């Protein structure tokens, strides 16, 4: 069962006065979502989600394609009108204060939105004008964001000569150009090779350090969710679990510890006696499960030294986010996608009858 550190569905402030939410930008949370729902005809893409993202936090939305991630991000970016509920971004209501919300956010979409016939710099300048970055600051910001994503030497290159990873980096740079309160990254690494994905993450981490931007991202890569400060697992339009990666993993199960000792029988007895743990020998090692295995090992060492049991080697394996997803949704993310039908955006487009 999930631990109590993890917020289960609907335990967030449902009772908050909806009318007051962020009319004047006074809220402290960068993103504040309450009871948000979106229906497309009979299809309920998002069935009431609640969460807050603190300023400076990296918040991840994890779930299979079609879980409601893109629709939620669309509502927060004022591109999709919520059916019910409310949300504020940077303190502004996403329905009533669209202009302000748009000026407060940076957006990096799943699909590229660059003009490939313009140079990197021309793309950024275009953005600076549309977002009203003061003229006197354009040059400085331009240099800063290009530097951040490692494209400073490519400023004068036409984007059509860029690789997929470079384009994505340029889009991230562009999303940051107007110093948004929240940067939205919708599947920032989808369709990129593993090496490029890693480098994109290095850039995201460094921008977090240098710009202090709040990042809201969606992903269906388990390993990437690990980079987030906090994750919400979304499945079938609902948040099924929310917490830090560590909390989530801790909620799922204990770490597995394997030790090889000079005295297995003695070790098993000592574990039972001093820590109340049931251990057994598997594959030649004494194996047992314990919460926070990394923190447990030093305690184990000092106790074993006391009772005189030599420890030759130790291995701790933690549950992965795959295990977390599995435990909350009863399926692995890959299985969920395999049966998922058309992706959300496809559905969005089909429902709206137009592509943006």
Partner 1 sequence: MSSELAPRAGLAEGPVGLGGQLAVVGSTPSRKLPPAGAGPLHEARAVWVVLKRECIRFASDPLRVIVGLLQPVMFLFVLGSGLGTLVKFGSHLSLRTFLYPGAAAMSVLFTALFSAGSIVWDREFGFLREMLVAPVSRTSLVVGKCIGGALVSSVQGVLMICISGLAGVPYNPALMFTVLAELLLLALTITAFGLVVAARIRQFQSFMAVTNMLVMPLFFLSGAMYPLSGLPTWLKVLTRVDPLTYAVDPIRRAVFEHLSSLPPALTKRLVPGVTWDGWHVPLGLELTVVAVMAFGFVVVAAIEFRQTD
Please give the structure tokens belonging to residue 204: 């995201």
Q: By rule CB under 8 A, what string of x and - marks binding of each residue 185-214 to partner 1?
A: -------------------------xxxxx
Does residue 178 belong to the site contacting partner 1 (CB under 8 A)?
Answer: yes
Only segment of 175-183, 222-230, 271-279, 339-347 that touches partner 1 (CB under 8 A): 175-183
Provide, rounded to whole angstroms, the least separation between the CB of residue 174 and partner 1: 8
Does residue 90 belong to the site contacting partner 1 (CB under 8 A)?
Answer: yes
- First-last CA distance in the chain: 42
- Applying CB under 8 A, which of residues 18, 130, 346, 350 lies at the interface with partner 1? 130
**336 versus 348: smaller Cβ distance to partner 1:** 348
The angle subtended at Cα 339 by Cα 1 and Cα 35, nearest 5°, is 55
- Applying CB under 8 A, which of residues 55, 83, 244, 289 lies at the interface with partner 1? 55
Size of the site for partner 1 (CB under 8 A): 56
Does residue 79 belong to the site contacting partner 1 (CB under 8 A)?
Answer: yes
Please give the structure tokens belonging to residue 210: 């240098």
Residue 252 main-chain phi, psi, to 5 deg? -80, -50
Provide, rounded to whole angstroms, the least separation between the CB of residue 317 and partner 1: 37
Does residue 168 belong to the site contacting partner 1 (CB under 8 A)?
Answer: no
Residue count (the chain): 356
- Applying CB under 8 A, which of residues 84, 139, 282, 356 lies at the interface with partner 1? 356
**148 versus 309: smaller Cβ distance to partner 1:** 148
**282 versus 352: smaller Cβ distance to partner 1:** 352
Structural contact between residues 236 and 49, judged by C-beta atoms closer than 8 angstroms: no
- Applying CB under 8 A, which of residues 144, 277, 281, 311 lies at the interface with partner 1? 144
- Applying CB under 8 A, which of residues 39, 44, 47, 103 lies at the interface with partner 1? 103
Structural contact between residues 105 and 179, judged by C-beta atoms closer than 8 angstroms: no
Does residue 91 belong to the site contacting partner 1 (CB under 8 A)?
Answer: yes
- Applying CB under 8 A, which of residues 113, 163, 317, 351 lies at the interface with partner 1? 113
Does residue 229 belong to the site contacting partner 1 (CB under 8 A)?
Answer: no
DSSP string for residues in 289-314: EETTHHHHHHHHHHHHHHHT--EEEE
Closest of 302, 312, 315 to residue 274, by C-alpha: 302
Please give the structure tokens belonging to residue 320: 């992965």
Structural contact between residues 156 and 200, judged by C-beta atoms closer than 8 angstroms: no
Alpha-helical segments (H) within the chain: 69-76, 98-104, 120-130, 135-148, 164-177, 194-211, 222-225, 245-252, 264-270, 293-307, 321-329, 333-338, 344-352
CA 309 to chain centre: 43
- Applying CB under 8 A, which of residues 34, 38, 69, 102 lies at the interface with partner 1? 102
Q: Residue 144 in 3-state DSSP? A: helix
Does residue 355 belong to the site contacting partner 1 (CB under 8 A)?
Answer: yes
Distance CA 6, CA 163 (A): 40
Provide, rounded to whole angstroms, the least separation between the CB of residue 24 and partner 1: 4
Q: Provide the Cα torsion 224, 186, 208, 158; round to 10°.
A: 110
Only segment of 98-106, 220-228, 278-286, 330-338 that touches partner 1 (CB under 8 A): 98-106
Site residues (vs partner 1, CB under 8 A):
23-26, 30, 55-56, 77-79, 90-92, 97, 99-100, 102-104, 107, 109, 111-118, 122, 125-127, 129-137, 140-141, 144, 178-179, 181, 210-214, 354-356
């Amino acid at each position: 069962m999930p631990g109590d550190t993890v917020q289960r569905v609907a335990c967030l402030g449902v009772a908050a006065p909806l009318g007051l939410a962020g009319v004047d930008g006074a809220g402290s949370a960068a993103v504040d979502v309450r009871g948000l729902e979106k229906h497309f005809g009979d299809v309920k893409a998002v069935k009431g989600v609640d969460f807050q993202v603190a300023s400076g936090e990296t918040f991840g939305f994890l779930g299979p394609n079609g879980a409601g991630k893109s629709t939620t991000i669309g509502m927060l970016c004022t591109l999709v009108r919520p059916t019910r509920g409310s949300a504020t971004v940077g303190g502004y209501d996403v329905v009533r204060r669209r202009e302000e919300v748009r000026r407060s956010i940076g957006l990096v979409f799943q699909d590229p939105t660059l003009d490939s016939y313009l140079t990197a710099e021309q793309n950024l300048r275009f953005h600076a004008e549309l977002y009203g970055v003061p003229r006197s600051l354009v040059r400085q910001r331009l240099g800063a964001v290009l530097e951040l994503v490692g494209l400073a030497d490519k400023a004068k290159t036409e984007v059509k000569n860029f690789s997929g990873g470079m384009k994505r980096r340029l889009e991230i740079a562009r999303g940051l150009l107007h110093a948004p309160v929240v940067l939205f990254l919708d599947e920032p690494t989808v369709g990129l090779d593993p090496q490029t994905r890693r480098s994109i993450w290095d850039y995201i981490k460094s921008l977090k350090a240098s710009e202090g931007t709040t990042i809201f991202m969606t992903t269906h890569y388990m390993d990437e969710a690990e980079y987030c400060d906090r994750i919400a697992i979304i499945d079938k339009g609902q948040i099924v679990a929310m917490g830090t990666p560590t909390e989530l993993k801790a909620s799922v199960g204990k770490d597995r510890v394997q030790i090889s000792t000079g005295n297995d029988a003695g070790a098993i007895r000592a574990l039972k006696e001093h820590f109340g743990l049931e251990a057994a020998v598997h594959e030649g090692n004494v194996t047992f499960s314990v919460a926070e295995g990394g923190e447990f090992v030093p305690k184990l060492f000092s106790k074993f030294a006391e009772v005189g049991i030599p420890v030759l080697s130790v291995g701790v394996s933690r549950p992965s986010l795959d295990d977390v997803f599995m435990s909350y949704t009863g399926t692995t993310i890959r299985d969920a996608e395999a049966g998922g039908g058309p992706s959300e955006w496809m559905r969005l487009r089909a429902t709206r009858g137009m592509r943006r």
